[in-house]
């Protein structure tokens, strides 16, 4: 990757735009941890079966 981080979420990009801008300085442990936690969330969401996903989202809903 070049010296500029990009967040377009494309196959060749660093991470999706929906994640926002990472915290910390470039190449810092703080930034690495931030990105790793987002990747873990994404992997867990992809592995989750549809029934559990619906139940989890229903619990997070604030209005009927």
- pLDDT per position in the chain (64 positions), as tens? 445 555 454 556 667 778 888 888 988 999 889 988 988 888 888 888 999 888 888 888 877 6
* pLDDT value of residue 2: 47
pLDDT computed for residue 64 by the predictor: 63
pLDDT given for residue 1 in this prediction: 45
Is 33 part of any domain?
A: yes
Provide the pLDDT for residue 5.
Answer: 53
Residue 9 located in a structural domain: no
- Its pTM stands at 0.56
2 falls within a domain: no
Q: Is residue 22 part of a domain?
A: no
Tally of domains within the chain = 1
**Phi-psi label, residue 11: left if phi above 0, alpha if psi -120 to 50, beta otherwise:** alpha
4 within some domain:
no
Confirm if 15 and 35 have CB atoms less than 8 A apart: yes
CA distance 36 to 33: 5
16 found inside a domain: no
Report residue 57 as tokens: 């989202």
Where in the sequence is the domain holding 56, given as residue range(s)? 27-60
11 occurs within a structural domain? no
């Amino acid at each position: 990757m070049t010296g500029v981080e990009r967040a377009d979420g494309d196959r060749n990009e660093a991470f999706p735009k929906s994640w926002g801008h990472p915290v910390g300085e470039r190449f810092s442990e703080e930034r690495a941890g931030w990105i790793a936690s987002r990747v873990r969330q994404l992997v867990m969401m992809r592995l989750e079966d549809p029934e559990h996903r619906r139940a989890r989202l229903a619990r997070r809903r604030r209005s009927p």
